[in-house]
Amino acid sequence: MKLAGLVFAAIALAARAPAAPAQDPVIQVDFSDPRLSPAQWTLILHPDGSGHFRSQMGNLPDGDQEMNLPSIDRDVRLNARFAGRVFDAAERHHWFNEACESHLKVAFQGWKTLAYTGPQGHGSCTFNYSKDKEIQSLGESLGAVAETILEGGRLEMLLEHDRLGLDQEMEYLTEAVDDGRAQQICTIRDILERLAGDDEVLERVRKRARMLLAEGST
């Protein structure tokens, strides 16, 4: 009887114990291309648009004029609607539990790994180029988000070390936003606000910063 009573008490306590919290769904994107700087970056994304970005500085060839950024490791905030579309695409593709790579002979675009972890389980797929239009487009869009974040890092460096260089960089960023190479300008709101309010940078730089901030708020 004593054993039965102990068993009953244990069952009762277990029933009253709070349930383990559901695992927060997360999508992680990893990109690598040793020819570039940064050579590797990772974007972690939650359904509400919150996330984290990490990049690893690469080694550019001697004579390359591209700015060699230091590593970045920071929280970021994307538009919740954008994040929702990413998670919707992940669901349509079985949480990335499918083959993504086309194995076609196309130019190397860098390896992209899309991974999901959450209540629905986990999955991942890696590709250079995907024949699935939605997966290929998803990789390009997330790459464009990373480009925006990296561009924010370049603007921070220029603001500190080469204010005159901001003019050309802001021109590039404006063009990249217009043609989709850079997306989710909200991820670099802080540096754009600093530029928009800095009387020591060119008026063209301030004007472009204000314009991008206005576009990012819509």
pLDDT per position as a tens digit, 68-84: 788 999 999 999 999 99
Q: What are the Cα distances from residue 207, in Å, to 108, 176, 213?
A: 37, 16, 10
pTM of the model: 0.86
Indicate whether 12 pLDDT > 80.
no
The answer to whether position 17 is within a domain reads no
pLDDT of residue 16: 52
| Enclosing domain of residue 53 | 22-59+69-216
Q: In what helix (H) or strand (E) does residue 26 lie, and over which residues does it extend?
A: strand 26-32
Let me know if residue 6 belongs to a domain.
Answer: no
Domain assignment present for 13? no
Q: Is residue 117 part of a domain?
A: yes
Q: Is residue 211 part of a domain?
A: yes
Q: Confirm whether 14 is domain-assigned.
A: no
Please state the rounded mean pLDDT for residues 183-188.
98
Return the sign of the alpha-carbon dihedral for residues 61, 64, 70, 71: negative
Instruction: Read off the pLDDT band of 62 (50, 70, 90).
Output: low
pLDDT in tens, 194-212: 999 999 999 999 999 999 9
The count of domains in the chain is: 1
Mean per-residue pLDDT for 117-137? Answer: 97
Domain membership flag for residue 147: yes
Asked if the model's pLDDT at residue 33 lies above 60, the reply is yes
- Per-residue pLDDT, 217: 66
The string over 152-188, giving b where at least 16 C-beta atoms fall within 10 Å of a residue's C-beta and e elsewhere, is bbbbbbbbeeeeebbbebbeebbebbeeebbbbbbbb
Mean pLDDT calculated for residue range 127-147: 98
The pLDDT of residue 107 is 96
Q: Is residue 169 part of a domain?
A: yes
